[in-house]
Amino acid sequence: MLKLAFKNLFAHPVRTVLTIGALAIAMFLVCFLTSIATALEAGVSSNTVRRLWTRTAVSLFSTMPQNYEQKIESLPEIDQAVKFQWFGGYFREQKNFFAQFAIEPEHLLEVYDELYVVDGSYENFVADRNSAFIGKALADKYEWKVGDTIPLTATIFTKPDQSPWEFEVAAIYEADTPNVDRSTLFFHWDLFEETVKGFAGEAPEVGVYLFKPVEGADLDAVSAQVDALFEGGPMRTLTTTESEFQREFIGMIGNLPRFITFLGTGVFVAILLASINTMLMAAREQTNDVGVLKSLGFSDGRVFGLMLTQGLFLCGIGGGIGIALAKGSESAFRDMLAAQFPGYLVADATVIGAAVLTLAIGLVAGLMPALHARRLSPVAALRATL
Amino acid sequence: MSEAMIQARGLTKTYKRGGEELRVLDELDLEVEAGGFYALMGPSGSGKTTLLNLIGGLDDATSGHLVVDGVDVAELTGSELAQWRSDNVGFVFQGFNLIPVLTALENVMLPLGLTPLSKGEQRKQAEYALELVGMTDRMKHRPRQLSGGQEQRVAIARAIATDPKLLLADEPTGDLDRESANSVLELMTKLNSELGKTILMVTHDPLAADYASTQIHLDKGRLAQVSGAATAK
């Protein structure tokens, strides 16, 4: 029976191979999109770091005065706040875009204690104001190593002569937690401020203040205290946990997880219809065979099982290839998408979910022709002409 | 006197077509002896194939009684009927009806898959059936690689693979040239005389009917005439 089901499936090899190919691509996409959504969610929900972010209450694009830092640090629950300013440059071409921040190197690791150096020396980064501290994924992508100079073309803080900003790689970092972007370049606030002041005439403001309240402090209470400090301006603030900040950041580009789920559902429905169509065509061609099998003594149940098995074979092969592709390409995509979706991972739950989905498609695709074959009288089946 | 393989009493089959009742078999009485070779003849629409389908348990009679080898087929449930067909009846069709994706050997092994035989025993039995029909050298060929006569030989091997007592053949030589037809008919005669198979063969061809020991003529769903040596009534 299994042999017959398998051979029937490949009676029209081109059609079957095309359907299997479509199934493989669809199931790969389902796994890929689910993994993207999972990566987004993991970055947010698994982030249990007790780090608070203070930004303006207006938007992420507005900035705050530098003297907010001292005021924030004046609260007893906060030892050290760190200035962050989005730089927004690119390397050689606009497509080579990644996150760059001007920060205070002396205190970065106090708020980002999950970072660790894998190459170079953090002390050298702190000591050299022209240096940069870059993520491992970024270093791997552009094959940068310690000592290399990275020219960045500014899009916001453009020098009057249009020359690029240049940073020498002092150290490369890695992190064990999925919420940390391994594709960021950090550089000295002092250099940033001095250069901007040089051509703009005034010191730059701050995009975000990051800090870790002391152990045991109530994060909500601290957030409220910080925001209360600036209630009267000049710029009101909004202080949130890091996970909440990330959630808002993702929200800026729309409800991405829902959009991805929508796309995945669309792919699923399309491939379900394609599989049903293939199975119905195959079943129609096998009508006469069904009559022969019944005349040989095959029961309605056996014929039902044969048709259902064909649907399961078809979807199992296609879906299996798709899932294997998704799993096999996991590390390649993790590197490729490190900047946008750090922590990309085809989780076991995703693989199991895709396998269940494959099984469901196979059952549904095989069920209609199987029920038809089961009900078909042998005489009607034998009379059938195609 | 041989015992009856088939006993039909008042066998009637009607179909509804366009709101009109079509009586294909009309109170047919028939008795076929075990071990006989019968040709079932008659004009188109006389009920030959319908009778064959009823005897083979492929269709239900509207009324009447039909006992095949001591079994009232109307009493069997769907799965019992399937099992009974597997054990007792072999079908040979005009269009051969081999499964195109399977080799000759696999086609013959198909009904053996319903038996308790092991895979090895099934293969051995299928090879024996193919040997009986002279197709050993073509057992690995697919149907499309065989001539019509060869396909029908494989189909006969499939029909006898489970060693059924009854062979039902519906125009088995209808799609064959004369030479191939004669060869198939000689094979069927051999199965009847040497293996004792009861054969009921629907045919329009008088030359084919001559191979049978008894000719049964149907007309408008009734028994019109019985000729030949045996005692169909």
Q: Is B58 within 8 Å of A289 when comparing Cβ atoms?
A: no
What is the number of other CB atoms lying within 10 angstroms of the CB of residue A223?
Answer: 20
Q: Is A300 within 8 Å of B79 when comparing Cβ atoms?
A: yes
Q: Is B99 within 8 Å of A292 when comparing Cβ atoms?
A: yes
- The answer to whether the peptide bond before residue A342 is cis (omega within 30 degrees of 0) is no
In Å, how far is B90's CA from the nearest CA of chain A? 7
Residue B231 has pLDDT above 50, yes or no: no
Residues A42-62, mean pLDDT to the nearest whole number: 75
Q: Is B91 within 8 Å of A298 when comparing Cβ atoms?
A: no
Q: How far is CA A28 from CA A18, A269, A324, in A?
A: 15, 14, 8
Report the pLDDT value the prediction gives residue B9, as an integer from 0 to 100.
94
Q: Is B93 within 8 Å of A377 when comparing Cβ atoms?
A: no
The answer to whether the CB of B142 falls within 8 A of the CB of B103 is: yes
In Å, how far is A277's CA from the nearest CA of chain B? 21
The minimal CB distance from B85 to the residues A1, A291, A297 is found for: A297
Calpha distance A43→A178 (Å, rounded): 6
Q: How far does CA A38 lie from the centroid of its chain?
A: 7
Q: Is B87 on the interface with A (CB under 8 A)?
A: yes
Q: Supply the mean pLDDT for chain A.
A: 86
Calpha distance B218→B43 (Å, rounded): 8
Count CA atoms within 13 Å of residue A187 on its CB side. 25
Of residues B218, B78, B99, the one with CA closest to residue A378 = B78
Q: For residue A294, which residues of chain B lie inside 8 Å, CB to CB?
A: 58, 82
The minimal CB distance from B111 to the residues A7, A11, A297 is found for: A297
Higher pLDDT, A213 or A324: A324
Task: State the best of A7, A292, A309, A313 to mutate against chain B, taking most chain B CBs within 10 Å.
Answer: A292
Lowest average pLDDT, out of A146-150, A217-221, A366-370, B227-231, goes to B227-231
Calpha distance A356→A265 (Å, rounded): 14
Report the pLDDT value the prediction gives residue A182, as an integer from 0 to 100.
83
Local confidence band at B232 (pLDDT 50, 70, 90 cut-offs): very low
pLDDT, tens digit (0-9, with 9 covering 90-100), for A253-309: 666 777 777 888 888 888 888 888 888 888 888 899 999 999 999 999 999 999 999
Domain ranges within chain A, ordered by starting residue: 2-44+255-383, 63-234
Amino acid at B198: T
Q: Is B82 within 8 Å of A297 when comparing Cβ atoms?
A: yes
Write out the two tokens for A41. Answer: 């969610």
The answer to whether the CB of B65 falls within 8 A of the CB of B72 is: yes
Residues A17-35, mean pLDDT to the nearest whole number: 91
Calpha distance B131→B138 (Å, rounded): 10
Q: For residue B162, which residues of chain A lie inside 8 Å, CB to CB?
A: 297
Report the pLDDT value the prediction gives residue A127, as an integer from 0 to 100.
92
- Under 8 Å CB pairs connecting chains A and B tally to 65
Report the pLDDT value the prediction gives residue A252, as an integer from 0 to 100.
63
The answer to whether the CB of A146 falls within 8 A of the CB of A13 is: no
Q: For residue B86, which residues of chain A lie inside 8 Å, CB to CB?
A: 296-298
Q: Is B85 within 8 Å of A288 when comparing Cβ atoms?
A: no
Report the pLDDT value the prediction gives residue B149, as an integer from 0 to 100.
92
Q: Is A295 within 8 Å of B99 when comparing Cβ atoms?
A: no
Q: How far is CA A187 from CA A165, A343, B120, B168, in A?
A: 11, 24, 76, 90
Q: For residue B58, which residues of chain A lie inside 8 Å, CB to CB?
A: 294-295, 377-379, 382
DSSP 8-state secondary structure symbol assigned to residue A163: P
Domains, in order of start, for chain B: 34-61+74-228 (3.40.50.300)
pLDDT, tens digit (0-9, with 9 covering 90-100), for A189-202: 999 999 988 888 88
Task: State the best of A1, A7, A287, A295 to mutate against chain B, taking most chain B CBs within 10 Å.
Answer: A295
CB proximity under 8 Å: B 138-167 to A:
158, 162
Local confidence band at B233 (pLDDT 50, 70, 90 cut-offs): very low
Q: Is A296 within 8 Å of B56 when comparing Cβ atoms?
A: no
Q: For residue B106, which residues of chain A lie inside 8 Å, CB to CB?
A: 3-4
Percentage of the residues of chain A whose pLDDT score is greater than 90 = 37
Q: For residue A7, which residues of chain B lie inside 8 Å, CB to CB?
A: 101-102
Residues B206-226, mean pLDDT to the nearest whole number: 92
